[in-house]
Structure 1
Amino acid sequence: MPALLRVLCLSLFPLISIASPFNSEPAEVDREQQLERAKDAKNAVFTALDSDGNDQLTREEASLELSLSRDFDDFDHNGDGVVDRQEYLRERHAAESNIEEVQ
């Protein structure tokens, strides 16, 4: 359970700091800054899930994140049985792009 809590905290912290009314940054943050923050948050989640630090997620490590666990084969682009950082970031970026298109 502590690992899951760590993943949740790491993934939500950037969102909380952006939405905070006490945030000292200007209200309008340019799109490039938003994308960089999102990438940093995704990297933090990946790092938290990667319990052995080998820069690859096994199905067991991925089981702590519901969508990754459910869609593991979609994340594993090369079919080698693990999701590396690039595959993870690519799939997360694609998911964000799909959300923006719907809006």
Structure 2
Amino acid sequence: MCGRGKGKASGAKAAGSARTKSAKAGLVFPVAAVYLAAVLEYVTAEVLDLAGAAAIDSERNRIIPVHIQLAFHYDVELNQLMSGSGVPPNKHNQLLPKLFKESDARKG
């Protein structure tokens, strides 16, 4: 025989003692996937909260892509998170809030 009988295999003892973190916690889902979903939910809620504030500041009822971009730009942690990715955005003065337009006008 080639060793594939009904008896215990030599690796059965090692496989029985090794338990995953999900099995130890009694979870059906993998721990990493649940953790990743929680992180994504938090970041999404944070961005939408800041973009909503930017929409209110610009007296709009809807969040548009410019508000999301401003939310990333004016939040220190989100700006640091996105600083190493892609091409640096070119922000037109027309898109910036009125406070920054007035301060730029005083300088020039």
The answer, yes or no, to whether TM exceeds 0.5 is no
The higher relative CO (CA closer than 8 Å, separation ≥ 6) is in: 1
Provide the TM-score with structure 2 as the length reference: 0.27
Greater C-alpha Rg: 2
Q: TM-score, normalised by structure 1?
A: 0.28
